């Protein structure tokens, strides 16, 4: 196997591994009966969502280091935006933070489609965004009693 396919496989494995906290916390929050523990689990999920949103911005920061001109400037500016947008969401209760993070992840994905157009990474990125969005929506649905 060549280095490119090894790298792609590693990216895929680590990307899907990154979904474990999302779905682990979603499932845990949906099955736990203790309301205080559910709040802790959902707060942990919003914290993890904030970390991942920041990570996604960091991709653009890193790409901008090898670009030049306008694309470099756009990458540097956009690279910090997910962190700045996620930070205030971390202070909200889960019933508000979860739908806001869902919107944020979709927005980051839409911008990535434009800024990273043609990059093979976008196929994996799309699958991961769909999964994260499902996880966040399920968790939100649990906060408003849909599954009770």
Whether residue 44 lies inside any domain: the answer is: yes
**pLDDT score for 129:** 98
Q: Give a yes or no: residue 114 inside a domain.
A: yes
Residue 148 in this model has a pLDDT that exceeds 70: no
Q: Classify each residue of 96-133 as buried b or exposed e, where b means 16 or more C-beta atoms within 10 Å of its C-beta.
A: ebbbbbbebbeebbebbeebbeeeeeeeebeebbebbb
pLDDT in tens, 117-145: 888 889 999 999 999 999 999 999 988 87
CA–CA distance, 50 with 97 (Å, rounded to integer):
10
Provide the residue range defining the domain that includes 47: 3-143
Is the residue at 74 inside a domain?
Answer: yes
> What's residue 62's pLDDT?
87
Q: What's the average model confidence in pLDDT over 52-69?
A: 89
* pTM passes above 0.75: yes
* Residue 58 placed within a domain: yes
Query: Does residue 148 lie within any of the structural domains?
Result: no
Asked whether residue 10 is domain-assigned, the answer is: yes
What's the number of domains the chain is made of?
1
């Amino acid at each position: 196997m060549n280095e490119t396919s090894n790298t792609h496989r590693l990216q895929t494995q680590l990307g899907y591994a990154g979904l474990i906290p999302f779905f682990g916390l979603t499932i845990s929050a949906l099955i736990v009966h203790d309301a205080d523990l559910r709040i802790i689990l959902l707060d942990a999920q919003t914290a993890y969502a904030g970390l991942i949103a920041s990570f996604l911005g960091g991709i653009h920061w890193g790409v901008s280091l090898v670009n030049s001109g306008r694309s470099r400037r756009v990458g540097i500016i956009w690279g910090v935006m997910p962190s700045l947008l996620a930070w205030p969401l971390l202070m909200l209760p889960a019933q508000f933070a979860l739908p806001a993070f869902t919107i944020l992840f979709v927005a980051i994905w839409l911008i990535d489609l434009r800024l990273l157009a043609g990059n093979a990474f976008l196929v994996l990125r799309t699958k991961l965004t769909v999964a994260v969005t499902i996880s966040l929506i399920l968790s939100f649905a649990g906060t408003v009693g849909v599954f009770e």
